[in-house]
Amino acid sequence: MIKRLISRLIEFIVVLFIGVTIIFIIIHLAPGDPSLQFCSPTAPLEQRELLMHRFGLDQPLWKQYTIWLKNAVIQFDFGISFFSGKQVGKMVRQALSPTLLLTGLALLFGILAGVFLGIQAAIRQNKFFDRFVTTIMFAFYSMPSFWLGLILLQIFAVQLNWLPSSQLVSVFHEQFSCGARLWDYCRHLILPVSTLGLIFAASFYRYSRNAMLTALSSEYILAAQARGTPRNHLIYRYALGNSLLPLISLVGTSLPVLFSGALMIEVVFGLPGLGRLMTDAVLTRDYPVIVAAALLSFFAAIIGNLMADIIYLIVDPRLRHS
Amino acid sequence: MTRLQGMRHSRFWSNRNCRYGTIIVGLILLMAIIGPLFAPYDPTQQNLEQILQPPSLKHICGTDFYGRDLLSRLLHGSRISLGVSLSATFLTMLIGIVLGLLAGYFRGWLDKFLMRIVDILLGFPRLFIILLIVGISRSTLLMTIVVLAGFSWMEIARLVRAETRSILTTNYLMAAQALGLNHFRLIIAYILPNLRGMLLTSTNLLIASMLTIESSLSFLGLGVNEPNASWGTLLSQGRLDPTGAWWVALFAGIAIIITVVGFNLLGDGLNQIQSESRT
């Protein structure tokens, strides 16, 4: 089993390497010129060449690539942002915590609410509760996350003015006491977390309801029923135990969402997270930031898959013994 | 034969998801085809005396920032939104089916090679990559479609491959092989027809997700350029002025949701019919 994990790990490193290389090539072969972000197209050619030289873009592609790779691997140095002049590594790290906070909370909410409602709906199949929740969840499932965000923003921030509409903290955040600061964070996070959480909940709901229905209609449940197993035991131990397994892989594959899934939500709510960093970098052609952000999201996808593998190993006794 | 088709038909129609899905999708498609003919105003005609009018009898969905009639823009936008998502889906299916069949039917090194590519591409963060390529190349609609398909075909290929492999073990296929039919005949006449149900389901679900991604891209300002507008573009214009003009984002969003719901319903329903007929 360890062998399988190691071979997966090697595979992942290959994916990471190929992914970053492809990103690098795409970025640098794409038409357009980042120096045009800083001076008008009519600026003298020398000025643009100077900028290109400063960014290291006058070098041939393979040389830029090897330099980047060397710095990234050996010194963990991802270069300096063209646009803000800051260390890219630091920018990414700063953007990481709001994103992780947002997506972590939303994912938690989504899993808890989605799985709980999914089980409840499945054991009441075709009753009013099931129909009602399934319809609502289907609507959330079909909704673009950013639209839900806009609507909640409109209702709670603009019309009712209960909650702030953007940013992670208030302007006077620094002057608040400790408790007030925490409250400030909460107020700013309620809308984005519930938006994203509802969207997550919808897909977890669909999944767990289906898995639960499949489990409930299987023959071992019938057999257990015939033996006189109490209903609660039947549902929560027998059916749930078996339907949780595919759910784990769903959670694992949705872990990359921790990093990139909030992209649209961050843009809507103006949160200074990774998603917004990425979009801004793409729009301003900030090459080092794009590459670093891409690296991170590849990494996230890999970690997610790896964690799903490991959890599978822990949970499923059949895998452990084979 | 006709009786069998009749049964199939009624089973399709008696499934609630299929029925509602078909009706919604039919209406939406009808709207995209003939809707623009009935648009009350020119969708690009600016009327600065009537900017940001709330919904009224004159402008059923209100007007936008430049006084353009939103209903007309929605009707015209449906062609772009649906056109992009349908053609991206078509391309995705095409790539996925061809590569999946190749991998599943011929196996060997080709299978290994293709599945390795699938594994690698599935590890890519999709929205971000699409955003990156579309954003950086200042792309055209065609480019957007190609990029959407280029990063979406993998799941289809996987499904087709798995299904093909299981069909290869069936008796009727071995009988056909024994008749000495060539690979092409076998694939076209014996394997593809059996993939039909699965492919129909995935097509519908794929259209729904394409529509969402396209609207996300347009929302970020990377999709369709002014003065044309897809539904996502209209949505993003609603964001310009969140203080009052709620209708700008609302109606475009509702159009997107209804369409996505329609295709999802149809996909779910087809899936249910399929799993019923299997058991």
Report the alpha-carbon distance of residue A119 to residue A229 in Å, rounded.
Answer: 18
Q: Using the beta-carbon criterion (under 8 Å), do B124 and A19 form an inter-chain contact?
A: yes
Higher pLDDT, B122 or A111: A111
Question: Residue A148 contacts by C-beta under 8 Å, 6 or more apart in sequence?
Answer: A140, A195, A198, A199
Across B133-147, average pLDDT: 79
Tell me the average pLDDT across B259-275: 88
pLDDT value, residue A260: 61
pLDDT on residue A154: 79
Contact residues, A window 105-164, toward B, CB-based 8 Å cutoff? 138-139, 141-144, 146-147, 150-151, 153-154, 158
> Is A319 inside a domain boundary?
no
Q: What is the mean pLDDT of residues A161-187?
A: 71
A6 contact partners, CB below 8 Å, separation of at least 6: none
Interface touch A305/B123, C-beta < 8 Å: yes
Q: Assess whether pLDDT exceeds 80 at residue B256.
A: yes
Q: Does A68 touch chain B (CB under 8 A)?
A: no
Q: What is the predicted pLDDT for the residue at B244?
A: 62
Q: How many CB atoms are located within 10 Å of the residue B108 CB? A: 8
Q: Output the six-digit token pair for B253.
A: 């969003």
Give the per-residue pLDDT at A100: 83
- Furthest C-alpha separation in chain A: 87
Supply the CATH number for residue A240's domain: 1.10.3720.10
Task: Enumerate the residues of chain A whose CB falls inside 8 A of the CB of residue B219.
Answer: 144, 146, 264, 267
Both tokens of B107, joined, read: 């196996």
More confident residue, B275 or A47: B275
Q: Which range (A39-48, A180-189, B151-160, B222-231) has the least confidence?
A: A39-48
Residue A52 belongs to a domain:
no
User: What pLDDT is stored for residue A36 in this prediction?
Assistant: 65
Report CB contact under 8 Å: B242, A165.
Answer: yes
CA-CA-CA-CA torsion sign (B260, B263, B266, B267): negative
Mutation site for A-interface testing, chosen from B132, B146, B151, B274 by largest number of A Cβ within 10 Å: B132
Which pLDDT value is given to residue B79?
86
Q: Do A250 and A291 contact (CB within 8 A), yes or no?
A: no
Tell me the pLDDT tens digit for each residue of A116-146.
999 889 888 888 988 899 889 988 888 888 8
CA distance B101 to chain A (A): 24
Residue A309 lies in a domain: no
Q: Does B136 touch chain A (CB under 8 A)?
A: yes
Residue B1 has pLDDT above 50, yes or no: no
Please judge whether A144 and B250 are an interchain contact, meaning their C-beta atoms are less than 8 angstroms apart. no
Are B231 and B218 in contact by the 8 Å Cβ rule? The answer is: yes
Q: Does ipTM exceed 0.90? A: no
pLDDT higher than 90, residue B194: no
> For residue A34, what pLDDT is reported?
67
pLDDT tens digit sequence for B77-110 = 888 889 989 999 999 999 999 999 998 888 888 8
Please check whether residue A199 lies inside any domain of the structure: yes
Q: What burial letters (b/e) apply to A219-241, b meaning 16+ CB within 10 Å?
A: eebeebeeeeeeeeebbeebbbe
Distances (CA, A) of B170 to A281, B173, B176, B180: 53, 6, 10, 16
Q: Is residue A217 part of a domain?
A: yes
| CB atoms A144 and B246 under 8 Å | no
Residue A187 belongs to a domain:
yes
Size of interface A-B (CB pairs under 8 A): 117
Distance from C-alpha of A270 to C-alpha of A213, rounded to nearest angstrom:
40
The tokens for A178 are 């400790």
Instruction: Give the rounded percent of residues in chain A with a pLDDT score beyond 90.
Output: 4
Q: Which structural domain range is residue A237 located in?
A: 97-284
Q: Which residues of B touch A282 (CB under 8 A)?
A: 131-132, 135-136
DSSP state of B31: H
CB–CB contact B249 A150 (8 Å) = yes
Tally of structural domains, chain A? 1
Residue A260 in any domain: the answer is yes
Q: Is B279 on the interface with A (CB under 8 A)?
A: no
The alpha-helical segments, DSSP class H, found in A154-262 are 178-216, 219-226, 231-233, 240-253, 257-260
Instruction: Quick: pLDDT tens for A232-255.
Output: 888 887 888 777 777 777 776 676
**Rounded distance, CA A262 to CA A270, Å?**
11
Q: Do B123 and A151 touch (CB under 8 A)?
A: no
pLDDT value, residue A274: 82
Let me know if residue A191 belongs to a domain. yes
CA dihedral defined by B166, B170, B176, B181, rounded to 10 degrees?
20
